[in-house]
């Protein structure tokens, strides 16, 4: 299983220099899980920077993977993970979801860089 963090989705949708790093896990939808919090963040960012129609197209593509709900178990595990690794709330939800599902977490967010199970690629400018 694969989970692409919001930073990877944004890089992919905007055709950034690391887009190809995220293409394989995004396009292998049978192995893709998508935390609901990533839907929120991607929709908000694309709507803010482009428009709502493009944001809805992005969400439609994300929904080709398996959407992972925020449950009580995910929320509590995310809180513990956030405390342990000093992650912001959304990152805690993403990491907790990935860990609970045994997924590789693909990201260019440096907050995840040294965590177990993470496939990190440094963002290029």
- What are 39-43's contacts with CB under 8 Å, separation 24+? 39/63, 39/67, 41/6, 41/90, 42/6, 42/9, 42/10, 42/13
- Is residue 71 one of the residues assigned to a domain? yes
User: What is the Cα–Cα distance from 116 to 103, expressed in whole angstroms?
Assistant: 11
Over its length of 125 residues, how does the chain's per-residue pLDDT go in tens digits? 999 999 999 999 999 999 999 999 999 999 999 999 999 999 999 999 999 999 999 999 999 999 999 999 999 999 999 999 999 999 999 999 999 999 999 999 999 999 999 999 999 87
CATH at residue 47:
3.40.50.1010
- Is residue 58 one of the residues assigned to a domain? yes
Structural domain that includes position 44: 2-118
- Is residue 125 one of the residues assigned to a domain? no
- Is residue 123 one of the residues assigned to a domain? no
When divided into structural domains, the chain yields a total of 1
- Is residue 124 one of the residues assigned to a domain? no
pTM: 0.96
| Opening angle at CA 90, ends 42 and 61, nearest 5 | 25
């Amino acid at each position: 299983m694969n989970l692409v963090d919001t930073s990877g989705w944004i890089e992919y949708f905007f055709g950034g220099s690391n887009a190809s790093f995220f293409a394989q896990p995004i396009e292998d939808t049978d192995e893709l899980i998508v935390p609901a919090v990533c839907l929120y963040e991607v929709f908000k960012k694309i709507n803010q920077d482009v428009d709502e129609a493009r944001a809805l197209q992005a969400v439609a593509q994300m929904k080709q993977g398996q959407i992972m709900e925020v449950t009580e178990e995910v929320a509590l595990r995310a809180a513990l993970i956030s405390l342990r690794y000093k992650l912001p709330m959304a990152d805690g939800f993403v990491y907790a979801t990935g860990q609970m599902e045994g997924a590789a977490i693909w990201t260019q967010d440096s907050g995840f860089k040294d965590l177990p199970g993470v496939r990190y690629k440094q963002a290029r400018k």
